[in-house]
Structure 1
Amino acid sequence: MNILELEKRLNEKLSPQLIKDYAPNGLQVEGKSEIKRIVTGVTASQALIDRAVELNADALLVHHGYFWKGEPEPIRGMKGKRIRTLIKNDINLLGYHLPLDIHPELGNNAELARLLEITVEGGLERHPQSVAMFGRLAQPMTGQEFAEKIAHVLNRAPLHIAPDDANKLIETVGWCTGGGQDYIELAAQNGLDAFISGEISERTTYSAREQDIHYFAAGHHATERYGIKALGEWLAQEYGFEVEFVDIDNPV
């Protein structure tokens, strides 16, 4: 498939035009025209690019690409080396950020809910492009039980901040993968029992303790492995691409 046709199919699936984002979505660095082999991964780090080179990828498809708002514009240093490697090896880079977070079938939020067996009930922001979700567990759990479930599913122990009533059971849950910790305020306002995000801020601890809500910081990378993996699997099934997901270890 031609790279521009691949970008078109991805845009049709993810609808990036419907959400304001912090980086361009779609084709970010252009390489060869015809695409057969695709490598997917969370972040377009040098390690992931090098692996894509080793695997003879025609395209690298990621959640965290380049050209973020506010970043230095010159293509030099680390940024320069990454882009030079892509261009030298004729590898296309495609990135989808918020559109992949929120996609109802393949998105990071949807995948995290599936893995944790949460029934999705809607968006915390009460509109179709909400980047934070809420739902319900099949059976109430203690904070410790839910922390153990997260650790088992993501292969990473979460940081659990309990409310003042540490014995409060969890039935309703809000979540936002990655850097969505400040949605804890909206989760608390809606009376949810718990909130999950990837990252935590200093202020999040006090929000959880003072607003009677369990909080779980499960890791930015750990919570965002699954959307890009699902997107790659969809491309393989739908269009017959050779797709390989590469998970570059990241403890954050």
Structure 2
Amino acid sequence: MVECKDLINTLSEWLQPQLFKDYCPNGLQVEGKPHIKKIVTGVTASQALIDHAIKIQADALLVHHGYFWRGESEPVVGMKKKRLQALLAHEINLLAYHLPLDAHPELGNNAQLAKLLGLKITQGMDADINTSIGLVGEVSSELSVEQLTQQVTDVLGRSPLVIQSGSHPIKKVAWCTGAAQSFIEKAAQLGVDAYLSGEISEPTVHTARELGVHYFAAGHHATERYGIKALGEALADHFGIEHIFVDIDNPV
């Protein structure tokens, strides 16, 4: 068992949320029980994830995508009311970490994706690698577009949407999980052969082709499953509490 305040303090120490200008509050978003024995992790605090946490009697829900995003409607009605009502009725703490989890050099989404894909991290897309949202690295041996596509498919369990931009092989790669397609221009400036992210938008296709960077849209959810899972496992080891990762299917 761990006190919720001690869990929050540890997460703050590990993830350093104060270093990031984010689109949402990081940390405790909904207060629940003061003591935690069982924690559930998942990518997004959807109703399906909340319902699962209730079913298995979790004391805390730790996610990458929580609530209270900049620009969202403020009234607590409809879907928002139902979600918050369920959390409060069962005294489940909701903790969410967005950019701090993307950037963590060991437990972060980008670091975990690199580990799974066998990418050697050489630098951050930003100057400070410890707070960089995207990373740059190399594959162990030169790959064709087809080979990297197959590797991503095998690891993530879904086929990426690939924009091939020329015939050049891939050695140097940049990547940023989630909705980071707009970072492709920054990646191109770093001289990469390919850029991998979660989502793609209409302009991304033209940008990739004109900059000569192969683009891999591997799925927002699929690329961001691994940081929150690693974080939950680390907390379980640190505090000796039960941790369960729940993967709510999402094709995006």
- The answer to whether the superposition gives a TM-score over 0.5 is yes
CA offset at residue 125 of structure 1? 1.8
1:135 — aligned with what? 137
Match of 1:149 among 144, 148, 151: 151
CA offset at residue 127 of structure 1? 2.1
2:198 — aligned with what? 198
Q: Amino acid of the residue matched to residue 40 of structure 1?
A: T
**Alignment partner of 1:60: what SS?**
strand
The alignment status of 1:225 with 2:225, answered yes or no, reads: yes
Q: Take 1:27 and 1:118, find their aligned partners in 2: how far apart are those partners?
A: 33
Aligned-residue Cα RMSD (Å) equals 0.7
CA offset at residue 37 of structure 1? 0.3
Match of 2:162 among 160, 163, 166: 160
| Alpha-carbon displacement from aligned partner over 1:77-129 (angstroms, at most 9, x marks no partner) | 10110000000111000000000000000000000000010000111122232
| Alpha-carbon displacement from aligned partner over 1:182-229 (angstroms, at most 9, x marks no partner) | 111011112100000001010000111111110000000000000000
Give 1:68-217 correspondences, 5 Å limit. Answer: 68-128=69-129, 129-163=131-165, 165=166, 167-217=167-217
1:244 — aligned with what? 244
Q: Amino acid of the residue matched to residue 15 of structure 1?
A: Q
| Alpha-carbon displacement from aligned partner over 1:114-156 (angstroms, at most 9, x marks no partner) | 0010000111122232211100011010001100100000001
Unmatched segments (≥5 aa) in structure 2 = none
**Alignment partner of 2:35: what SS?**
coil
Q: Take 1:186 and 1:91, find their aligned partners in 2: how far apart are those partners?
A: 40
**Alignment partner of 1:127: what SS?**
coil
CA offset at residue 4 of structure 1? 1.2
Deviates more, 1:148-157 or 1:181-190: 181-190
Calculate the TM-score normalised by the size of structure 1.
0.98
Q: Take 1:68 and 1:246, find their aligned partners in 2: how far apart are those partners?
A: 23
**Alignment partner of 2:107: what SS?**
coil
**Alignment partner of 2:105: what SS?**
coil
The structure 1 segments of at least 4 consecutive aligned residues displaced by more than 3 Å after TM superposition are: none
Residue identity (%) = 58
How many pairs align?
Answer: 250
1:38 — aligned with what? 39
Calculate the TM-score normalised by the size of structure 2.
0.98
**Alignment partner of 1:61: what SS?**
strand
Q: Amino acid of the residue matched to residue 144 of structure 2?
A: T
CA offset at residue 238 of structure 1? 1.2
The alignment status of 1:52 with 2:53, answered yes or no, reads: yes
